[in-house]
Structure 1
């Protein structure tokens, strides 16, 4: 009890400081942002997330021995092993989940051939078949079903040698754990109905250079998917190596997001891209790309469904010494040093995407042959995965997907009107495509030096608002809200003269 009270006191103090900083800029206008109301159906689905199901999924994926993408071209693999066998099982698992919900999922394959190259650093040397497997839970509202939220992990694995397709490459954490999140989200969310569509994905070819996700992202772009949010789960197993408890935090999961949009979002000429970057520079909005707003939305969802999470500051010390409720931690960079992830493929096509990863990776258990060397066990083995941790990651993903698929789409053409030289702020926007008549809007803001939204004002059903707050002192966003309180992520306004 004393620990809980101390935690509540720290959270309260942090919130008070953030609000004081914002109110110093904005006066007393607006109200502190509070967690959205809990949706009982979503809360019920989160209770169905099972560490046992997660365990079974990861164990099954490990049983394919070596899921190297390159093994799709091998003819001498033992029966039931290799990446193709893994793809067939994933498709069958999505099919089984679909049968349990009366055929609610459309299970699909995105199969293509990646050309080989004899370049010195090429990881694919000959034409190779890759297959992405995905299941579509179609939205029930004809006006909103085109909107899509997507969760993914990569099912391929590797050992120390990229070209070794036969020796064991269990890939339990990297990335059977992420695939388990996608499959578990499909299992629990397929029992519900959403106005918008959710896509559950397992991609191939990540270890050879994001090949599978790149093809799927380009396919989504070519087919005109209205893809609003991509959650990429990669290495979310919560490493359990003995002796790592002081540095591995099982209460935290990192959410990486780009602050400046990738080039793919800059439609048109190089001059237009340069103009966009100049605008970002002038606005000071280098922490407000759509992907960063998606990360903030995950924190917002966390505050509703994991209410003890609060505000956390302890993670950036050398060691972890206290236990906290499970929660996401926003990392204000696109990815880790020297590494890449499948969310980048979607960012480069102009889509909103984030990467979700455990707090502290153990590189002895990534891309390693299984061996015991100088007392250290190497290899991405099942015994180093914390299935309860993966289940918590799945709950956070499921809550985010369900909230965004239930909420109206993001406001369109959001502008801050700058014709008048005054200390007010006037905002205008268009309703999301297909938004119900019951949609309302909320303006959120924060002091420029703060990481997250702190204050909000309702605009009701109107698509304009005028606030007695200097536009120069804060950063604004506008988000859509339905009558049940489901919120879209916020959209940064762009200056306009009228």
Structure 2
């Protein structure tokens, strides 16, 4: 790999600050969390969710044993049980909205999601969110009565979210973690839309949304079996980018450095704490022409990604449960049933979420108002704004990152101390992309923030 020119750092603040030793790079808690989720717990929850017969958004809401109403009440009760085990550390409640006059929801229907909020100890208005979907569907998207087990799509993602709450509720973090069971996904992403709207109304500073949609299948329709890879999809440019910001990005770069994209890079780094797992970043908001519950958060201006299995089996998605005999005599099975879920793999992808949430919630908030200058100069200067001390009592300082413009991941970094700007001497701004991350005293880091509106995670 060709290396960028060596960096000579000149700090405009006190020299002693520049010489502060960086925090430790090993994070033993994350290694512990990387094996903490239980495959048995996930299997139990997936089986319970499948047992409701159908969880279609338009299905029965009154029955105690079948339909979307029974399913969401069970999820509420399960979050409540988890909260009781941690001394009431979770605020469990419903988030709902009414939809009508839409192609997939013609009549007035209340779409009800369930969330559990684990309040942060120092910066409670900074939120990191993990989500899975409650609902399921059969071949006909309007069929609210036929069995639609939805074992992988998406009982697996919801079971992972419940298990993440079990694991992380044993700890306390500076930032707030939300575990969200979102409804109405198959009918139009309504649960995510309503939660994103509530987050905007309440003024939540949403740093990350990890949407888990199908995390249990290891055998693709192409015949490939893979239990050691996850995919993370992320948008390249912000959905809320203005025309003026787009014009600036055209000249300064940032097409590959939205906050969602740098969140995806962060998740890929976190995979080192999960045994036998790597992340394949996909430079697309979602699968080609398809959607998921992270999209409403992107559209509200929040960093959000989709975490999912590496290989999909389309016969097990959006299909009535059935078998068909092919002309050559082979039998083809359709339907999203329990035999298509690998619970150990689902636990592994849950662990990826768990270590990411813990790292994000432990780290200081990402640096705000990151700026860069150095045109027609041998040097490059980065500047940023530090948070109020009360929001980041664990802040140790900052690390500057850089990479070749064609590199998918940040390849170089340098600890610069607790400063608010740095000049990189003899480093040409034209030849690399740069960013800044905040570092906690225990070594936890925020995502890397690319300079300017293209990469901003927001303010304090």
Unaligned runs of 5+ in 1: 1-16, 267-272, 309-324
Whether the 8 Å contact between 2:210 and 2:294 is mirrored in structure 1 is: yes
SS at match of 2:75: helix
Cα RMSD for the two superposed structures: 2.0
Matches within 5 A, 1:229-244: 229-240=208-219
SS at match of 2:32: helix
Aligned pair 1:492/2:457, yes or no? no
Name 2:354's counterpart in structure 1.
Answer: 398
Name 2:78's counterpart in structure 1.
Answer: 93
Q: Which of residues 374, 378, 387 in structure 2 aligns to 1:432?
A: 387
Aligned pair 1:387/2:343, yes or no? yes
Aligned pair 1:220/2:167, yes or no? no
Distance in 1 (CA, whole Å) between partners of 2:180 and 2:452 is 33
Name 1:410's counterpart in structure 2.
Answer: 366
SS at match of 1:390: helix
Q: How many Å apart are 1:327 and its aligned residue?
A: 1.5
Distance in 1 (CA, whole Å) between partners of 2:131 and 2:164 is 10
Q: Which of residues 42, 50, 59 in structure 1 aligns to 2:38?
A: 50
Distance in 1 (CA, whole Å) between partners of 2:90 and 2:431 is 47
Name 1:452's counterpart in structure 2.
Answer: 409
Q: For residues 205 and 399 of structure 1, do their structure 2 counterparts lie closer, same or farther at Cα, with a shift above 3 Å needed?
A: same
Aligned pair 1:341/2:285, yes or no? no
Distance in 2 (CA, whole Å) between partners of 1:421 and 1:297 is 32
Q: How many Å apart are 1:288 and its aligned residue?
A: 0.3
Aligned pair 1:70/2:51, yes or no? no
Whether the 8 Å contact between 2:218 and 2:226 is mirrored in structure 1 is: no
Matches within 5 A, 1:65-464: 65-72=53-60, 79-117=64-102, 122-141=103-122, 144-240=123-219, 246-263=223-240, 266=241, 273-303=242-272, 305-306=273-274, 325-374=276-325, 375-418=331-374, 421-433=376-388, 434-436=391-393, 438-464=395-421
- TM-score normalised over the length of structure 1: 0.84
Distance in 1 (CA, whole Å) between partners of 2:7 and 2:109 is 61
**Mean alpha-carbon deviation: is it higher for 249-258 or for 437-446?**
437-446
Distance in 2 (CA, whole Å) between partners of 1:64 and 1:437 is 45
Q: How many Å apart are 1:35 and its aligned residue?
A: 12
Distance in 1 (CA, whole Å) between partners of 2:148 and 2:223 is 28
Name 2:18's counterpart in structure 1.
Answer: none
Unaligned runs of 5+ in 2: 10-21, 326-330, 454-460
Whether the 8 Å contact between 1:240 and 1:385 is mirrored in structure 2 is: no
SS at match of 1:148: strand
Whether the 8 Å contact between 1:72 and 1:128 is mirrored in structure 2 is: no
SS at match of 1:146: strand
Q: Which has the higher helix share?
A: 1
Q: How many Å apart are 1:108 and its aligned residue?
A: 1.0
Q: Deviations over 1:222-266 (max 9, x none)?
A: 11111110000001112447xx69513211110000111112xx3
SS at match of 2:48: helix
Name 1:12's counterpart in structure 2.
Answer: none
- TM-score normalised over the length of structure 2: 0.90
Distance in 2 (CA, whole Å) between partners of 1:114 and 1:135 is 23
Q: How many Å apart are 1:131 and its aligned residue?
A: 0.6
Count of residue pairs the alignment pairs up: 433
Distance in 1 (CA, whole Å) between partners of 2:277 and 2:441 is 28
Distance in 2 (CA, whole Å) between partners of 1:282 and 1:106 is 45
Distance in 1 (CA, whole Å) between partners of 2:163 and 2:449 is 30
Distance in 2 (CA, whole Å) between partners of 1:283 and 1:43 is 38
Q: How many Å apart are 1:45 and its aligned residue?
A: 3.5
